[in-house]
Structure 1
Amino acid sequence: MTTDANARRLFADLTGHDPVGLWSAPGRVNLIGEHTDYNDGFVFPFAIDFRTVVAVGTRDDGRIRVVSTFDEVPVEVALADLDTLFPDRRDEVVEWARYPLGVAWALQHARGARDGGGADASASLPGIDIAVASDVPVGAGLSSSAAIEGASAAALNDIWNLDESRVALARAGRRAENEAVGAPTGIMDQMAAMLGERDAGIFLDCRSLEAEVVELGFAPAGLEVLVIDTRVTHAHSTGGYGERRAACERGAAIMGVEALRDLTTDDLPRAQELMDDVTFRRVRHVVTEDERVQDAVRTLRAEGPRAIGGLLDASHASMRDDFEISVPELDLAVDTARAAGAVGARMTGGGFGGSAIALVDRDLVPDVTAAVEAAFAEAGCAKPHVFTVHPSAGARRDA
């Protein structure tokens, strides 16, 4: 059954009738630029051809009800109660449901702020039923969460006639993730889910939110992006991610800047003098990663995609050694893919598990896949899920 059909089935099971429409949003691969987004830096993701679909309809009782293929037990809340639920009582809601409910909450707040505040932000909004189905792998570092947020935000924007921009919808998704879910992430994933285009990446300045669509040129160059899902799951709402973010904020404070985005590699010798070793290495990763993102965009334009392999490799080394967010399975995936002929490879996503990506000649995809699977078997690791992804469109109405 397709993802669309699953969403329709869930909605019909929940309500007994057909939805008003279907909306979808993609997962994403971050080509380069990890943990730079919440440091006001630069990122370069692209939306992928794995999507989350929401089937949506209205209700006349001022309530919001959500159900998903993650857990087919419906969660129901009064729209007016979302304010008391988030963020202080979010643990009362199963985690998957915090994403669509959190988006509804964040959009209500945005509506109230736009209309001058004061009045109940849920007033006059119709109740909503949402059925969520997805083929974005969960826990693989491909931002299944932002796909849920993007699809939900696009649907609610239309049904509630909010007329919010795509950037505003991405902001609502980030607020949902930060406050309703409790994951201290930046805005990269939500922007990729909202702004993605076919055959292109999104070069994003996370301070100004200026975004530029950059042609990737993988297909004309005979290249594929191979995702190696290690099956090591991660969760951004747990401690490791937050600790890295706190170290970055500490480093910025020591250097007297608003964010690490304001430093360059010329500032690193002074930073090393002022900081303990761990904080310095966290800072060094972010500063050098910002430069790698900008170098990758320039190199793509000047020399094409085959020339960015070294930057991908250097990014992984920095995440492994300075930011310390890789795991043995990710290192094994990256090292094996390179040895088997990949142009370049790196872990992608927040780290502590998830996926690596490898830029691979189309003809070598079977060989690299076989080499990675054999290496994992020899190391006694779970069999990885290895598959290709292609740059795809952002959030949209499908039906």
Structure 2
Amino acid sequence: MSFQDVFGTAPDGSWRAPGRVNLIGEHTDYNDGLVLPIALPNRILVTAARRDDGRIAVASSGHPGVVEFAIDELAPGSVGDWAAYPAGAAWILRESGYPIGGANLLVDSDLPSGAGLSSSAALLCATSVALLGLRDIEVDPAEVARLAQKAENQYVGAPVGLMDQMASMCCTAGHALFFDIRAMATDQIPFDPPADDLALLVVDVKAPHRHVDGEYAARRQSCEQAAAELGVPALRSIAFEDLDDALARLTDDVVRRRVRHVVTEIRRVEDAVTLMRAGKLREVGPLFTASHASLRDDFEITVPELDVAVDTALAAGALGARMTGGGFGGCIIALVEAAAAEPVLAAIEKAFAEHGFSAPAALNAPPSAGASRVS
């Protein structure tokens, strides 16, 4: 599908925004914690042309038809289904006072659907930078990320955090983005596995997400309950050295385990950043593995496909492996010697066949750049 085929005119340009994986720091974001994502080479691409009637028409290579709406008439809920995301981007830019205008937009993607790689955030960010770029409006990437989050919260109605949008907008090639959510501060941490003869495998386990919304809400409620009982604004306020004392003050075992995951995961992010800054990437692997064990046993968000993939990768020689994303499906990451990448993937494929699971799919995952204009 080409822009010319859909709209009958030539585009003015194309803008991209990538998906992401989080190296470590899972489920600390709504506890004012620390996260460490990288941007993927896989992306949402929005090809766009200006129009002067105040209307936006959006088409997608993955969905039939064209959805059209007036910018001035946008309100939360006025556009649904997948087109709610580009509509939400236009709505929040309008609400924030940016003088965007009408546009024809064609959306294309090589992000796998349902893999937990933040395709929704990438779509919001790609649409935002396209609408701004068409009018030569310069906006700080972190501000675009915050606007994209507001659009997903207020227009789409999804209570997401800010990590995905920040990764999509602010990552740089060869680096992980160290994002301190409490301080709203970022730092670029060198992370270039190929330069050290390493590879980061991203393996989509193709597991159907099971009861995700209710499970996420329950874990967030447990974290909020624990913070209230401990008299802190968020679990980030509990120092690692004070964890045992905090756990002893909690009476519910489930809540206690949720707290243990969040506090130890924040420490693992700090340790990973220290090792990466020192160029000791191989030593980050055991932190991945410890993170997965915590997510499996304390936060309880893994599924058999994720656990089998991680265990098999480790048995096949991976330096470390963990689930990444929200859980209950999605992907694992595995840090491996470059020469071991194919054998590790082959072992996972064999294990999945033996367990009767759907065949997994692997992605190449060199840390890549954030959103940009590509033509």
* Inter-partner Cα distance in structure 1 for 2:67 and 2:248: 50
Aligned to 2:177: 202
CA contact (8 A) 1:236 1:350 kept: no
Distance (Å, rounded) in 2 between the aligned partners of 1:163 and 1:254: 45
Q: Within 5 A, what are the aligned runs for 1:120-159?
A: 125-159=100-134
Q: 1:82 Cα shift?
A: 1.6
Match of residue 337, structure 2, among 350, 361, 366:
361
Deviation at 1:280, TM superposition (A): 2.1
Q: Deviations over 1:173-213 (max 9, x none)?
A: 11122222232221111111111111111111112221111
Paired position in structure 2 for 1:120: none
Identity %: 49
Contact 1:171/1:190 (8 A) holds in 2? yes
Query: Hey, what's the Cα distance between the residues in 1 that align with 2:232 and 2:136?
Result: 40
Deviation (angstroms), 1:242:
2.5
Q: Any idea what SS the aligned residue of 2:9 has?
A: coil
Give the equivalent residue in structure 1 for 2:63.
71
Task: With the length of structure 2 as denominator, give the TM-score of the two structures.
Answer: 0.94
Change (3 A) 1:251 1:31: same
What is residue 103 of structure 1 aligned with on the other side? 89
CA distance in 1, matches of 2:212, 2:351: 31
CA separation in 1, counterparts of 2:40 and 2:175? 10
User: Could you say which residue in structure 2 is the equivalent of 1:118?
Assistant: none
Match of 2:293 in 1: 317
Deviates more, 1:20-29 or 1:335-344: 20-29
In 2 relative to 1, CA 246–258 (structure 1 residues): closer, same or farther, beyond 3 Å?
Answer: same
TM-score, structure 1 normalization: 0.89
Aligned equivalents of 2:201, 2:40: Cα separation in 1: 12
SS at match of 1:352: coil
The answer to whether the Cα contact below 8 Å between 1:38 and 1:187 also exists between their aligned partners in 2 is no
1:282–1:322: 8 Å Cα contact kept in structure 2? yes
Could you tell me how far 1:303 is from its partner in structure 2?
A: 5.1
Unaligned runs of 5+ in 1: 1-5, 113-123
Note the C-alpha offset of 1:272: 4.2
Give the SS at the match of 1:111.
Answer: coil
CA distance in 1, matches of 2:267, 2:321: 18
- Aligned residue among 2, 5, 13 for 2:5: 13
Alignment of 1:34-113 (within 5 A): 34-83=26-75, 86=76, 89=77, 93-94=80-81, 96-111=82-97
Contact 1:346–1:358 (Cα < 8 Å) also in 2:
yes
Taking a change above 3 Å as real, the CA distance of residues 93 and 237 of structure 1, as seen in their structure-2 partners, is farther
Structure 1 residue 104, shift from structure 2 partner: 1.4
Aligned counterpart for 2:259 among listed residues 242, 261, 283: 283
Deviation of the 1:67 alpha carbon = 1.4
Q: Deviations over 1:326-370 (max 9, x none)?
A: 111000000000000000000011111000010011111111111
Letter in 2 for 1:62: G
One-letter code aligned to 1:105: W
- Compared CA separation, residues 76 and 220, structure 1 to 2 (3 A): same
Write the mapping of 1:220-239 to structure 2, written as runs, cut at 5 A: 220-234=195-209, 238-239=213-214
Name the aligned partner's letter for residue 212 of structure 1.
D
Among candidates 262, 280, 287, match of residue 304 of structure 1: 280
Deviations 1:148-184 (A, max 9, x none): 1221121122224443211110001111222222322
Number of residue-to-residue matches in the alignment: 374
Contact 1:140 1:233 survives alignment (8 Å)? no
The runs of 5 or more residues in structure 2 that have no matched partner are none
CA–CA separation in structure 2 for the residues paired with 1:234 and 1:59 = 40
Q: CA RMSD in A?
A: 1.9
Q: Distance in 1 between matches of 2:290 and 2:359?
A: 26
